[in-house]
Amino acid sequence: MRVLYAWVGAREADRFPCRPRYTQPMSLALDPATEQRIQREIARGAYREPAELINRALDLLESQENWLLCNKDAIHQRLAESMAQAERGELHTPDEVRALLAQDRQGRASRPQ
């Protein structure tokens, strides 16, 4: 097991003003499977060191959580609508669901990026 050291600097602390700012190095104990995942990503060449990969992973996590928070009301509304449809018996068969998902995937694949 390897121990990584990370430093939370002023830039990171400014993004989270309500959280305490760490002023000491942080050590992380990684299990072998996680360390292997990190090593594989570094070997692919996109990252030079573990801290760079961890920063990217945290950026993605933060982005996803922000999206969920910003869309929380719409998500809850869609879930409530879905539950109401289910209670009324307006359900799709598994084959219909597969066809709808395939159609949705095909539509997304044909859109320009």
Write the CA distances from 40 to 21, 29, 75, 83, 113, integer angstroms: 31, 18, 35, 42, 28
How distant, in Å, are the alpha carbons of 28, 71, 79 from that of 76?
36, 9, 5
Query: Could you report the per-residue pLDDT of 71-112, keeping only the tens digit for each?
Result: 999 999 999 999 999 899 999 899 999 999 999 999 888 887
Burial class (CB in 10 A: 0-12, 13-18, 19+), 41: middle
Spans of all domains in the chain: 3-70, 72-110
Whole-number pLDDT of residue 15: 54
**Band of the pLDDT at 18, cuts 50, 70, 90?**
low
Work out the percent of the chain whose per-residue pLDDT is above 70.
79
Q: Mean of the per-residue pLDDT values for the chain?
A: 83
- What is the pTM (predicted TM-score) of this model? 0.54
Q: How remote is the C-alpha of 28 from its chain's centroid?
A: 20
